Amino acid sequence: MKGKFITLEGGEGCGKSTQARLLSAYLQNKGIEVITTKEPGGTPEGKILRELLVTGDKDKFDAIAECLLYYADRRCHLTKLVWPAMDEGKWVISDRYADSTEAYQYYGYNKRVEHQILENMYQIVAGDFKPDLTLILDIDPEVGMRRSFAKAEAMEVKELRFESRQLEFHKNLRQGFLEIAKREPERCIVLNADTTVEDLHHEIVRVVNEKLGIE
């Protein structure tokens, strides 16, 4: 595939959506065609799955059912949007991807799904395909959640299924992202997200240039 695939990962309120927008604008300025997307819900089919996943009772699905829904969304996303765009030479920036599934479903919930099951699902859905670069925006969950709640209140959003979980869950989640980065240091770069929007954007631009060589 000719294009690149960059994923933004991290807990709630770390700044993924904000930084995805800024990075997209930066790359477009450099003459690169960019698509900004997200998981879950990056396609019309995925939007239906997202609705199931982000609303309602936090325990409504068992672990495997929940993972399968995320992977169904991922399959739609890859086949209908990510891969075709990359084939055309476009760069795709995704606000969350498979590391979020692993961090939430495996680390967040104290390993309630076997790791091998998640790996198998990934293989079925994506094969050997991996992001070219993953930016993990690391932040104390209390700071991130405060940002998230403020945003949710301002926008009256109802997508609070994960935000409503205990702080312990979010601490596990943060450790999970750091474990993933330790396992795949070439692909995953951890950045301190407890800084200004501008400073984080400059760090991201530096890493993207270093890893993917734009300039």
Ligand X SMILES: Nc1ncnc2c1ncn2[C@@H]1O[C@H](COP(=O)(O)OP(=O)(O)OP(=O)(O)O)[C@@H](O)[C@H]1O
**Which residue's CB is nearer to ligand X, number 9 or number 66?**
9
Neighbours of 121 (CB within 10 A): 22
Work out how close the CB of 49 gets to ligand X at its nearest, in angstroms, rounded to a whole number. Answer: 17
Residue nearer to ligand X on the CB measure, 21 or 117: 21
Report the alpha-carbon angle 93-20-150, nearest 5.
Answer: 140
State how far the Cα of 26 lies from the Cα of 215, in Å rounded to an integer. 12
Please report how close the Cβ of residue 4 comes to ligand X at its closest, in angstroms: 21
The number of angstroms, rounded, from the C-alpha of 128 to the middle of its chain's C-alpha atoms is 18
CA dihedral sign of residues 46, 84, 37, 173: positive
Between 15 and 42, whose beta carbon lies closer to ligand X?
15
C-beta of 138: minimal distance to ligand X in Å? 11
CB 118 within 8 A of CB 158: no
17 sits near Mg ion (criterion: CB under 5 A): yes
Contact partner at residue 12 from ligand X, Mg ion, none, CB < 5 to 8 Å by partner kind:
ligand X
Q: Is 173 within 8 Å of 107 (Cβ atoms)? A: yes
Contact 43, 77 (CB under 8 A): yes
Binding partner of residue 15 among Mg ion, ligand X, none, CB cut-off 5 to 8 Å per kind:
ligand X
Among the residue ranges 10-18, 46-54, 58-66, 109-117, the one whose residues contact Mg ion (CB under 5 A): 10-18
Residues that bind ligand X (CB under 6 A): 12-18, 147-148, 151, 196-197, 200
Residues that bind Mg ion (CB under 5 A): 16-17
